[in-house]
Amino acid sequence: MNFNAIKVIYKFEMLRTWRTLMQSIASPVLSTSLYFIVFGSAIGGRIQEVDGVSYGAFIVPGLMMLTLLTQSISNASFGIFFPKFTGTIYEIMSAPISYFEILIGYVGAAATKSLIIGLITLATASLFVELHIAHPIWMLTFLVLTCVSFSLFGFIIGLWANDFEKLQVVPLLIITPLVFLGGTFYSISMLPPAWQTVTLFNPVVYLVSGFRWSFFEIADVNVYLSLFIVLAFLAICMGVVWWMFRTGYRLKS
């Protein structure tokens, strides 16, 4: 293992975060606050409680997931897309470093960043509502797994994208709808039965449900099923990355 290389890629990526500190940290804090003002106060005033949890608290796990997913994907996809775009990737490709090590460096940094942002979001949320976490270990497990698997997913998008439009299109046209329709701001049981079935094809439902269960012990699907889906998603992403690396997809002609 070329540990020095992993270390410098990781450090370099984290450095990029510090350079854009305001944007990296301030924007999730701001958007979380806005969500609370709009959803928590305006709508929460009418909905009040879901499954015995105040609406303000109820949306916290979903809101965190929304932040984690979008942040993981954008950090990781941009992290690898940019050197590809500017050509500076030549240096990494010509270094004595394996694809696996490149992956650890980039995905590790992206996951770390979104983990930090996730925790900041949680801290911000706790300023608005009273929170209590029933299963902290489960909570952290889902948190870390989500950061890692969606950073990996973002890495794939960054490798695949050969222009800025493609870089944006997946998060915008696929992830955002999936997250908003994935029970982020409501319980699946609030939907008509037909839609409940359709929703079960949305993987984000399992993520949000499992994560919410770790907070309040309320869930739309069994927590083990949630865990299984997250792990399956991680495995699929690993498989795709492995294939991309093996064929040198969009990296080597």
Partner 1 sequence: MSDIITIADLEKTYHSGHQALKTINLGIKNGEILALLGPNGAGKTTLISIICGLVNPSGGSVTVDGYDIIKDYRITRQLIGLVPQELTLGAFETVWDTVNLSRGLFGKKTDAAYLDQLLRDLSLHDKKYSEIRTLSGGMKRRVLIAKALSHEPKILFLDEPTAGVDVELRKDMWQIVNKLRASGVTIILTTHYIEEAEEIADRVGVIRAGELLLIEDKQRLMQKLGKKQMTIELRTAITQIPAALAEYDLELADSGEQLTYTYDTRSGQTGITRLLQDISQVGLTLKDLNTTQSSLEDIFVNLVHTE
Q: Is 253 an interacting residue with respect to partner 1 (CB under 8 A)? A: yes
Q: Is 188 an interacting residue with respect to partner 1 (CB under 8 A)? A: no
CB of 6 to partner 1, least distance (A): 9
Choices 41-49, 142-150, 185-193, 245-253 (CB under 8 A): range interacting with partner 1? 245-253
Q: Is 91 an interacting residue with respect to partner 1 (CB under 8 A)? A: yes
CA distance 147 to 153: 10
Q: 53 - beta bridge partners?
A: 50
CB of 215 to partner 1, least distance (A): 39
Using alpha carbons, list the distances in angstroms from residue 191 to 130, 183, 194, 216, 220: 27, 10, 8, 20, 12
Residue appearing with tokens 């305006």: 42
Binding partner 1 (rule: CB under 8 A), the pick from 14, 47, 95, 133 is 95
Q: Is 162 an interacting residue with respect to partner 1 (CB under 8 A)? A: no
CB of 95 to partner 1, least distance (A): 4
CA distance 152 to 239: 11
CB 11: neighbour CB atoms within 10 A?
12
User: Residue 199: which of 208, 188, 184 has the closest Cα?
Assistant: 188
Q: Is 246 an interacting residue with respect to partner 1 (CB under 8 A)? A: no
CA distance 203 to 124: 26
Choices 52-60, 81-89, 166-174, 221-229 (CB under 8 A): range interacting with partner 1? 81-89
CB of 3 to partner 1, least distance (A): 8
Window 117-156: residues binding partner 1 (CB under 8 A): none
Output the CA torsion 25→30→32→37 (10° steps).
170
Binding partner 1 (rule: CB under 8 A), the pick from 18, 22, 52, 94 is 94
Mention every residue, 6+ apart, whose C-beta is less than 8 A from residue 123. Answer: none
Window 17-56: residues binding partner 1 (CB under 8 A): 19
Q: Is 14 an interacting residue with respect to partner 1 (CB under 8 A)? A: no
Binding site residues, partner 1, CB under 8 A = 2, 4-5, 7-9, 12, 15-16, 19, 86-88, 90-98, 248, 252-253
